[in-house]
Amino acid sequence: MSRLLSMLQTPVGHAEASWALLLRRGIYTSPVAQKNIRAGQIKSSINANLPLTYEQAQKPHKIGVTKAWNSWNTSNLTGETKDSAATTLEDLFIRQFMKGTWHNYLASEVIIKRRLNVVIVSFIAERQLNARNFYFLVGYTEEMLSTILKRPIKVELQTVRRKRDMTFKLI
């Protein structure tokens, strides 16, 4: 080691200088990074009283196996770069609109499916209103989103008695 250090400190030619510089800098390595298995998972509570739906209880690496995508479209395929950003922004807008319109009634995530020019919005709502108000909200949502996005929107709604009925497990 001392011989190597003495070589680095003595003046040398150009070719030898590059090797000396490389040896002086050294090679830095780090240990193998373990896979982060906590990314995308919901943090457990102290009392294990946090309710999870079936979709939320699935691990992130199970997307496409036992867990579905929240947006079904073909704009993210290879070579489809024309409207992929606009589609993502539309999906974000639809989800925000649904949160605002169906304020305390949403019991699940909003699933957005696109078939040709039709956008299908699916979700599960809590049964707190009578049927007449639900039909009004469905019609209002379809009309407003169709007007804003300038394409046909169809709302598929299922209801549950309480949000508690959607609980798959507690963490």
Question: What pLDDT score was predicted for residue 88?
Answer: 87
Digit-by-digit pLDDT tens for the chain (171 residues) are 555 555 555 555 555 666 565 566 666 666 666 666 667 778 888 888 888 888 888 887 777 777 777 777 777 667 766 778 888 899 999 999 999 999 899 998 999 999 888 999 999 999 999 999 999 999 999 999 999 999 999 999 999 999 888 888 888
Shortest CA distance to 105 belongs to which of 88, 125, 83, 121?
125
Q: What was the pLDDT predicted at 2?
A: 56
Predicted local confidence at residue 36, as pLDDT: 60
The matching CATH number, chosen from 3.60.130.10, 3.90.600.10, 3.40.50.720, 3.30.300.20, for 51-170 is 3.30.300.20
Q: Note the Cα 45 to chain centre separation in Å.
A: 22
**Do the Cβ atoms of 167 and 133 come closer than 8 Å?**
no
The pTM assigned to this predicted structure is: 0.70
Domain locations in the chain as residue ranges: 1-30, 51-170
145 SS3 class: helix
State residue 11's pLDDT score: 56
**pLDDT in the model for residue 84:** 81
- Looking at residue 102, its pLDDT comes to 95
pLDDT (0 to 100) of residue 3? 56
* Alpha-carbon gap, residue 77 to 80, rounded angstroms: 6
Q: Is residue 143 classed as helix, strand or coil in its secondary structure?
A: helix
